[in-house]
């Protein structure tokens, strides 16, 4: 069996044991002088079984770990906190620039241990593991501080996503106002759906950090809750940005629809001018084209055609002038 990645610090010292075996893990759980971080890949059956056999976590918590669509939340059990976070990233491997990939990251925070669970590789876990290799005293600060660093990294990953959304908005505004690209409506809806998805993922997570930073817990000392309060502030900033983006998207869509209406009005005005100019030609030509035996005025006049042509043009110009005077055109 491939052992899960683990870090063990004894007494808060810089001496750090890595990838300890199962016996050492079991012994560390009952040793208050030890801080243990175990990272489990839930796609590995043998590692996943440790949640029940070694750590003895509640079956409901283990059931949540099995469900990739578990809602972000925080639950208080007898001797540990169970936290579910939703991490998000753009999928650059596809042709859709608005394609998001989501995954859950699970935390079991005990008195002297932290167990993280995820399916497959996790960029945030790899990043923190690299920090622990370079700075061994990170683990010695306690399981709550290690959990905070990992959660902070996962939430801060939303800021580059917001930067991408901001670029999308700038591009859409230029396409609507500068060149009026008729295909921009589809992208407006796509970005709006992206913003709504991010809000849906973030809404329950804001409550998680509100609980971790304010609700009393024997596993989180007040001085540790200050760190989670900082992450909560980040959540508020992200949420405010998403609210701003949603308003900007609504304004951009209204501007797009207004421009469509204005362009339709311009086309209608042009057609109205053409129709107004053609009315005298239709009426006069119809009257002078009737096959009556009675003589029609100007029938035998040498300049009859020219006179009627000028008269029709004058009538058309007069009608257009009248419509403009009445401000109908």
Residue 37 three-state SS: strand
Q: Which of 141, 162, 184 is the last residue of a domain?
A: 141
Return d(Cα 9, Cα 13) in angstroms, integer: 7
Q: How many domains does the chain have?
A: 2
pTM, 2 dp: 0.77
For residue 292, being part of any structural domain is answered with yes
- Which CATH number does the domain housing residue 61 bear? 3.30.460.20
For residue 55, being part of any structural domain is answered with yes
For residue 25, being part of any structural domain is answered with yes
For residue 69, being part of any structural domain is answered with yes
For residue 291, being part of any structural domain is answered with yes
Its domain, for residue 124, covers 1-141
pLDDT in tens, the chain (329 residues): 577 888 888 865 556 778 888 888 888 888 888 889 999 998 888 899 999 998 999 999 999 998 888 889 999 998 899 999 998 888 877 777 888 888 899 999 999 899 999 988 888 898 888 888 888 888 888 899 999 999 999 999 899 999 988 988 888 888 887 777 777 888 888 888 889 888 888 888 888 999 999 888 888 888 889 999 999 999 999 999 999 988 888 888 888 888 777 777 777 776 776 777 677 766 666 666 665 555 666 666 677 667 777 777 787 777 777 767 766 66
Q: Which of 141, 173, 196 is the last residue of a domain?
A: 141
Q: Which of 109, 141, 173 is the last residue of a domain?
A: 141
- Which CATH number does the domain housing residue 303 bear? 1.20.58
For residue 135, being part of any structural domain is answered with yes
For residue 154, being part of any structural domain is answered with no
């Amino acid at each position: 069996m491939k052992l899960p990645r683990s870090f063990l610090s004894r007494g808060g010292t810089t001496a750090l044991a890595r990838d300890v075996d199962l016996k050492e893990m079991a012994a560390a759980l009952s040793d208050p002088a030890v801080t243990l971080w175990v990272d489990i890949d839930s796609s590995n059956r043998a590692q996943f079984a440790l949640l029940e056999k070694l750590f003895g976590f509640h079956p409901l918590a283990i059931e949540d770990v099995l469900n990739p669509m578990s809602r972000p939340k925080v639950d208080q059990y007898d001797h540990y906190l169970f936290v579910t976070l939703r991490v998000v990233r753009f999928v650059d491997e596809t042709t859709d620039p608005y394609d998001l990939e989501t995954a859950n990251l699970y935390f079991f925070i005990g008195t002297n241990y932290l167990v993280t669970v995820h399916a497959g590789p996790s960029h945030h876990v790899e990043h923190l593991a690299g920090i622990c290799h370079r700075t061994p005293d990170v683990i010695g600060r306690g399981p709550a501080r290690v959990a905070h660093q990992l959660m902070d990294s996962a939430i801060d990953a939303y800021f580059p996503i917001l930067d991408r959304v901001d670029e999308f908005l700038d591009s859409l505004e230029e396409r609507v106002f500068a060149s009026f690209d008729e295909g921009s409506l589809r992208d407006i809806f796509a970005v709006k759906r992206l913003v709504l998805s991010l809000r849906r993922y973030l809404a329950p997570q804001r409550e998680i950090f509100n609980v971790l930073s304010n609700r009393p817990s024997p596993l989180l000392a007040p001085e540790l809750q200050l760190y989670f309060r900082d992450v909560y502030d980040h959540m508020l900033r992200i949420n405010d940005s998403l609210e701003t983006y949603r308003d900007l998207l609504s304004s951009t869509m209204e501007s797009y629809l207004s421009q469509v209406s204005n362009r339709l009005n311009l086309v209608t005005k042009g057609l109205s001018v053409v129709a107004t100019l053609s009315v005298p030609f239709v009426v006069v030509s119809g009257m002078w084209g009737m096959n009556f035996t009675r003589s029609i005025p100007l029938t035998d006049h040498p300049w009859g055609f020219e006179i009627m042509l000028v008269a029709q043009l004058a009538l058309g110009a007069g009608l257009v002038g009248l419509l403009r005077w009445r401000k109908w055109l």
